[in-house]
Structure 1
Amino acid sequence: MVFRSPPALALVLGSVVISGCASTYYNALENIGIEKRDILVNRVDSARDAQAHAQEEFKDALEQYRALVNFDGGELGKTYDRLSKQYEKLEGEAKLVKSRIDSIENVGTALFREWRQELNDYQSPDLRRRSEQQLRETEQRYKQVLAAMNAAAARMDPVLELFEDQVLFLKHNLNAQAIAGLDTELAQIKSRVDDLIREMDKAIAEAEAFIAAMPAS
């Protein structure tokens, strides 16, 4: 089950989230029937969407850089401006992806801590054993998706640094001679972007598998 928080609920709980009182926030949602596992699935879904969108932005940045390297006339300043603006988008996308991953870890920690504690409340040994098994399986899937997302996110920073270097260099050296020298950098940037896209594909696949495996509440 993937839920979307109603606007009214977001307004009511906004101050709670801002204050950082996560347990109060989760308790308030549980009072209206939204369990931590539903929140976890929702956040994995949101992080998957953020990574998919970031993928497209990195691809666009590569194309903008390629267009600049292959510049063959027109207004050089406009071509550079497009690359510069695309780099700014990349920064925002990277921050969003990382914040979405942080939100997954936040609710995941709360969910599994509560689940372990509640194992002690069972009177039936069989039900406790079955719940414990489900906990292990769910936590393993959770760790896999989190590891894949963090691996993909970690690859964003080096690529961002490469683009930042190029944008800064061109800001002060926007001429035909400088553009001609960028050709040697294109292959390296393309290789880094391709590696990043592959890692993001893995993370997105892990997220989709996690969402499909989680039982609806």
Structure 2
Amino acid sequence: MNSVAKVCLTGCLSLSLLFGTGCTRTYYKAMATFGKEKRDILVSRVKDSKKDQQQVKEQIKTTMESFQVLTGFQGGQLEKNYKKLNGEYEKAADSAKKLHDRIDSIDQVSNDLFREWQKEIDGMENRKLKQQSAQMLRQSRLQEANYIKSMRQTEARMTPVLTAFHDQVVFLKHNLNARAIGSLKGTSAKISTDVEVLLTSLDGSMAQADALIQSLNSSGS
């Protein structure tokens, strides 16, 4: 698929999340011409979500390190360190937004896939094969539900961390001096604890992504 087609199809999918199913059907139909069915799209998005989660993980760690450097300030380039922290926070917030959108897109295509899957099962005549397909569908539904649940929990843990970083950055913008920096040292440990919990949650979500990919690949073989 060329880059222009990818941009058009991605744009259509984004609009479908806002304006309904018409554009989504067009997207699926276009992807099918490239040999990509809903299962392939879902697997691809889950793989991309792992990359997004890894990016969020690294960016949160980098932001925390910048905050610790700033709160340990002993003199020197205070404004430069603040600007670095602000830049890292903005990157972290952007990464979190990208991950949120990815989760929504995964949930959408998985629901569409499972509806199609069930409809196809309903049309089967061979009882044994029908039962086997239904079992595979139940397994994939369970894996997808576990994955989405894990991702939403990770999002919930991400929100207070990003909010804390945001508040500290805004406070420092208003009070860019050594005294203000010193007043934040006590908050560093609390944020660090929340960050560690978040990083563990991200690791768990990535493991759930592997389980879902394995389930989908197995049921499609």
Q: TM-score range by the shorter chain?
A: over 0.9
SS, match of residue 33 in structure 1: coil
Quick check: 203-212 or 57-66, which moved more?
A: 203-212
Specify every segment of 5 or more residues in structure 2 that has no aligned partner in the other structure, as ranges.
17-22
Match of 2:166 in 1: 164
Map of 1:81-96 to 2, 5 A cutoff?
A: 81-96=83-98
Specify every segment of 5 or more residues in structure 1 that has no aligned partner in the other structure, as ranges.
none
Take 1:8 and 1:55, find their aligned partners in 2: how far apart are those partners? 31
Distance verdict in 2 for CA 1:15–1:207, change over 3 Å? closer
Moved over 6 A (4+): none
Amino acid at match of 1:209: A
Quick check: 19-28 or 160-169, which moved more?
A: 19-28
SS, match of residue 123 in structure 1: coil
TM-score (norm 1): 0.92
Match of 1:107 in 2: 109
Take 2:12 and 2:173, find their aligned partners in 1: how far apart are those partners? 43
Take 1:138 and 1:14, find their aligned partners in 2: how far apart are those partners? 25
Amino acid at match of 2:172: L
| Identity value in percent | 38
Distance verdict in 2 for CA 1:14–1:146, change over 3 Å? closer
* 1:201 matched to 2:197: no
Q: Is the 8 A contact 2:150 2:205 kept in 1?
A: yes
Q: Is the 8 A contact 2:139 2:215 kept in 1?
A: no
Match of 1:118 in 2: 120
Shift in Å, 1:27: 2.1
Quick check: 147-156 or 56-65, which moved more?
A: 147-156
C-alpha distance after superposition, 1:7-54 (max 9, x if no partner): 253155356435521122112222332111111010111111101100
Give the root-mean-square deviation of aligned CA atoms: 1.6
Shift in Å, 1:89: 0.7
Match of 1:13 in 2: 9
Distance verdict in 2 for CA 1:57–1:16, change over 3 Å? closer
Q: How many residues align?
A: 213
Amino acid at match of 2:149: A
Q: Is the 8 A contact 2:64 2:192 kept in 1?
A: yes
C-alpha distance after superposition, 1:140-197 (max 9, x if no partner): 1111111111111121111111011101111111111111111110011101111110
